[in-house]
Amino acid sequence: MESYISYMLAAAHRAVHQTLAARLKDQGMQVETWRILEALDSERQLTMGELARTVLMNPPTLTKMVDRMVSQGLVHRQIAASDQRKVNLLLTDLGRKRMTEIRELVRLQDREILAQFDPQQVEVLNRVLRDLSDTAG
């Protein structure tokens, strides 16, 4: 199995995801919830379709997760000014506060992963993963 790049990517993803999930669980947060908060913090007024692509989720799953996040007071929906048929998602003050609290946990994990490689390897890894993401999807 280790001779297949698809398998090795899946194995690496699983290891990273499980570690991050355990860290975020201690904060009462899921990895997917973090991705949503992070995306909304960095890119204001995303529609549900834009957000689904950004956070790597299918729209029905995203909708259920956003419904939960709205009920938790982390995000709110706003009718888009440019097109009344579109709904934008925005962080609430609580959502922004929670994002700040968990961001350092994610950055800590990134630092731990990257510490295993020299700077040149990190540069190559980022470039290869970006290129793969751009062309394989």
Q: Each residue of 29-41: pLDDT tens digit?
A: 999 999 999 999 9
For the chain, the average pLDDT equals: 90
Distances (CA, A) of 111 to 5, 90, 104: 24, 28, 10
Distance CA 136, CA 36 (A): 23
pLDDT tier at 137 (50, 70, 90 boundaries)? low
Domains of the chain: 1-136 (1.10.10.10)
Question: Ramachandran region of residue 70, left (φ > 0), alpha (ψ -120 to 50) or beta?
Answer: alpha
Q: Is the distance from CB of 29 to CB of 97 less than 8 angstroms? A: no
46 bridge partner residues: 89
Q: What is the model's pTM?
A: 0.85
More confident residue, 136 or 131: 131
What is the widest separation between alpha-carbon atoms in the chain? 51
Distance CA 14, CA 22 (A): 12
